[in-house]
Chains A and B, each alone.
Chain A
Amino acid sequence: MSMSKSHSQHPWIYRAIFDMGSSILHILRGLGKIYLFASHFFYWVWRPPYRLRLVFEQLFFIGNKSVFIIVLSGAFTGMVMAYQTYFGFKLINVDTLVGPVVAISLAKELAPVLSGLIVAGRAGAAMAAQIGTMKVTEQIDALEVMGINSFQYLAAPRIIAGTLALPMLSIIFLFVGCTGAYIVGTKALLIDEAIFYSKLGEFMYLEDLLQGTIKAFFFGFLISLIGTYFGFEVTEGAEGVGRGTNQAVVWGMICVLVLDYFLTSFLIRIL
């Protein structure tokens, strides 16, 4: 009480700096806790009991939640990209390159990033909501009382499944996107089918696919780590669960975008 009073008596610039400082501290503390959470994961994931069935359940769950939206977004992304590049490229008479340009953008950036955003919004949110609900209804205590390590039982399978699921979803996104671009390119924009194919083979390399898949792998890990983390962080009531879910989505998405930059700058050098 007394602190907030003296706080409001200071000039605005002081308050602005103070608030900024405390939010930075808040974020740093969060980062520290997530780091600990992640090291927990690497500690427990190697230790029995191995719950493969739970990993498969989660894989199925994530796929079920996201595949439809991934296919839909992939198709339209590929189609619109074909249009956009076509009219630009036609000006300089390289419209036959539409195929590889769209495919490479999809493979390296759009498929992993957009799939990541979708999975953060669907599966990441669901993880936080499920675990948060289990926390506030004492289901996690029930596990612990039985002697089951709730982290190993709830978080580890979700993180493993998320890490494996996103590369697969990203590849589906890429495949559907390329199909969309192919249909628009050859049927609506009348690029010759044979040329579309041969240019694709000429300019597209395995590295492009690899780069996107590696990214998706890291995004999947981070999204499910963040989703489960905010689930376990929930402390009070239904609003707590809502807040945790929301934070899982926001931070999941931000992390995908930020990590994408760093992974790109790193992978471009080594691949």
Chain B
Amino acid sequence: MSDGEVVIQFEGVTKKFGEHVILSNLNFEIYKNKITTILGFSGAGKSTLLKLILGLSLPSEGTIKVLGQDLAHLENLALREFRRNFGMVFQYAALFDAMTAYKNVEFPLKEFTELRPSERDHKVRHLLTSVGIDEFGMRKLPSELSGGMRKRVGLARALALSPAIMLYDEPTTGLDPITSKMVNDLIVDTAEAHKDRGLTSVIISHDIKATLKISDFIAFLDRGRIVEYLPAKDFVNSDHPLVQEFVHL
């Protein structure tokens, strides 16, 4: 399974909280331009793994390289800057509740780019319309938007700085089937739209159906170990008992 350029690399990564081993000796790679899903029951350690990728917490043992860079070797400021390679879509969107949809998307551009106001405005509108938010929706506060709309705005905000890696934390958990489908389609469309510049997508999920449909690769995480890691098309045929159980849920 050595196709493609490696974007994220785990080498002997262990994460402990005190005595508790949450992730143990992970060795795997995530490939450029692909959609990779890390699948697992709740409590398996998925969120912890995501925080490690983002450098929000450091591994107890082993190294994580993102875009060839060992995160443990970056000091505070450099690490913060490095994080701009990531676009993160949070489970409940995590929009800034005091800002309108427009301001939410404008925020990273205002903070981190030197764009002129007119260029910035153009970019914000482009980002929002490309995820299906109209003029009317842009002026709304997050509290006035539906769950699906918030997800869209969150996606637009995550894409604002053209990140190399998109991270989705449980993108469909708690959404109705129609909105779930919409979100999944958005993830695929986003990956397609940014394929030419090599966008890598990483999804954390326990939604097996959607995962099988939209992923290129699936890693199965169980109690802190990756017990299976296969291209999506081979995943259903895995003979690992836990995977079988999950697939036939």
Given contacts A138-B91, A141-B56, A141-B90, contact A148 B111 (CB under 8 A): yes
Query: Can you pick out 30 interface pairs between chain A and chain B where the beta carbons lie within 8 Å of each other?
Result: A133-B97, A134-B96, A134-B97, A137-B92, A138-B91, A138-B94, A139-B94, A139-B95, A139-B96, A139-B97, A141-B56, A141-B88, A141-B90, A142-B88, A142-B94, A142-B96, A145-B54, A145-B86, A145-B88, A146-B83, A146-B108, A146-B112, A147-B80, A147-B81, A147-B82, A147-B84, A147-B112, A148-B80, A148-B111, A149-B80
A145 contacts across to B, CB distance below 8 A: 54, 56, 83, 86, 88
A147–B83 alpha-carbon span in the complex (Å): 6
Contact B54–A138 (Cβ < 8 Å): no
Number of residues on chain A facing chain B (CB within 8 A): 13
CB distance from A51 to the nearest CB of B (A): 10
A101–B81 alpha-carbon span in the complex (Å): 58
A104–B95 alpha-carbon span in the complex (Å): 49
Complex partner residue of B90 from A134, A138, A147, CB under 8 angstroms: A138
Contact A137–B81 (Cβ < 8 Å): no
A145–B83 alpha-carbon span in the complex (Å): 6
CB distance from B43 to the nearest CB of A (A): 16
For chains A and B in complex, what number of residue pairs have CB atoms within 8 angstroms? 45
B111 contacts across to A, CB distance below 8 A: 146, 148
Residues 104-143 of B, flagged 1 when their CB comes within 8 A of A and 0 if not, give 0001100110000000000000000000000000000000
Number of residues on chain B facing chain A (CB within 8 A): 20
What are the nearest 7 A-B pairs in CB distance?
A: A147-B80, A138-B94, A142-B94, A147-B83, A145-B88, A138-B90, A139-B94
Q: CB within 8 Å of A: which of B180-223? A: none
Residues 124-146 of A, flagged 1 when their CB comes within 8 A of B and 0 if not, give 00000000011001110110111
A146–B84 alpha-carbon span in the complex (Å): 6
B81 contacts across to A, CB distance below 8 A: 147
Residues 4-48 of A, flagged 1 when their CB comes within 8 A of B and 0 if not, give 000000000000000000000000000000000000000000000
B86 contacts across to A, CB distance below 8 A: 145
Q: A141-B94, A145-B56, A146-B112 are in contact. List 10 more A-B contacts (CB 8 A).
A: A133-B97, A138-B90, A138-B92, A138-B94, A141-B88, A142-B95, A142-B96, A145-B88, A147-B80, A149-B80
CB distance from B229 to the nearest CB of A (A): 25
Residues 143-165 of A, flagged 1 when their CB comes within 8 A of B and 0 if not, give 01111110000000000000000
Residues 174-199 of A, flagged 1 when their CB comes within 8 A of B and 0 if not, give 00000000000000000000000000
